[in-house]
Amino acid sequence: MSKAILFDATLCINCKQCELACAERNKLPYDETIAAEQKQSAHKLTVVQAKGDKYMRRLCMNCLDPTCASVCPVGAFRKTAEGPVVYDESRCMGCRYCMVACPFSVPKYEWDKALPLVRKCDMCADRVLAGQPTACAEACPTGATQFGEREELIAEATHRIRDNPEQYFKHIYGLDEVGGTSVLLLSSVPFTTFGFHNPIQHDPLPMLTYRVLSRIPDLVALGAVLLGGIWWITSRRAEVAAAEEEEKA
């Protein structure tokens, strides 16, 4: 079964232990200045955002059918059976199509490096493969971030909303968005409060690409017919005009 992360914003105390654990696991710098940053970057793969006394985590959603993988021409991104969407830096050619395609604007480029890479949360793929929880889930002192089987976390989130309707905004973000994601979010306020698009496409975005590309042969054939028709009409007009000139002569 596929693994997932469940973040329950109602349990978050903004301690930022998830940020610190993420930085340590990915060998990234972390200090007071970086802790104060409120957006994801190449050196900050997960962020706890604050709106008054309300909090939300932003990280790669590790989509079930990731657009970044579908647009990558060299296969640098791929979805694993365990849940994480992983990145192979040895394949990357720096086209940055993934950055444009991602519906959550997650992949970040190391613009300040001579040999830049694309950086994003990979849901601690090595730990997950070894049967361990993600670093952020392990570090969370309140249980706001949990790790487990996706179906079990969905059931848990559903129970929380059902049992405490006054406490939660009635939606599990990531359940259906872009075909579903391996990161699930609960909140007491609408997700638009923290910049999440609403509404967002519920079908996997790669499916939309397929639908367009699958029509190309039909469009090519139709175009050929139209061009052939235009050529025939033009040629016929030329023949008629030539015949009229011969009659006049």
Residues 139 and 28 occupy one common structural domain: yes
Domain assignment of residue 63, given as a range: 3-204
The pLDDT of residue 134 is: 98
Please say if the pLDDT value at position 217 is more than 70: no
**Which pLDDT does position 216 carry in this prediction?**
46
pLDDT at 175 over 80: yes
Residue 247 phi, psi (nearest 5) = -65, -40
Q: Do 191 and 237 fall into the same domain?
A: no
Q: Do 179 and 226 fall within a single domain?
A: no
* pLDDT score for 17: 98
* Residue 39 near residue 74 (C-beta atoms within 8 A): no
Asked if the model's pLDDT at residue 208 lies above 60, the reply is no
- The DSSP result for 81-140, as a single string, is TTS-EEE-TTT--S--HHHHH-TT---EE-TTSSS--EE-----HHHHHTTPPPHHHHH-
Number of domains composing the chain:
2
CA separation for the pair 70, 118 (Å, rounded): 16
In a domain? residue 209: no
Please check whether residue 210 lies inside any domain of the structure. Answer: no
Together in a domain, 127 and 239:
no
In a domain, 83, yes or no: yes
Among residues 72, 107, 106, which one has the least CA distance to residue 209?
72
Do 223 and 110 lie in one domain? The reply is: no
Mark whether 9 and 110 lie in a shared domain. yes
Report the distance separating Cα 20 and Cα 23, nearest Å. 5
Query: What mean pLDDT do residues 52-67 have?
Result: 97
Are 89 and 196 within one domain? yes
Residue 158 has pLDDT above 50, yes or no: yes
pLDDT digits (tens, 9 = 90+) for 188-204: 999 999 999 876 767 67
- Reported pTM: 0.81
Residue 60 shares a structural domain with residue 182: yes
Omega before 199 cis (within 30°)?
A: yes
Higher pLDDT, 108 or 249: 108
For the cut 60, the answer to whether the pLDDT of residue 87 exceeds it is yes
pLDDT, mean of residues 169-197: 96
Q: Residue 198's pLDDT is what?
A: 72
pLDDT of residue 95: 95
- Provide the pLDDT for residue 110: 96
Residue 47 has a pLDDT of: 98
Which three-class secondary structure state does DSSP give residue 146?
Answer: strand
Residues 6+ away with beta carbon under 8 Å from 139: 17, 18, 20, 21
Asked if the model's pLDDT at residue 211 lies above 50, the reply is no
Residue 63 has pLDDT above 50, yes or no: yes
Please tell me whether residues 148 and 242 are part of one structural domain.
Answer: no
Verify that 120 and 230 share a domain, yes or no.
Answer: no
User: pLDDT band at 213, cuts 50/70/90?
Assistant: very low
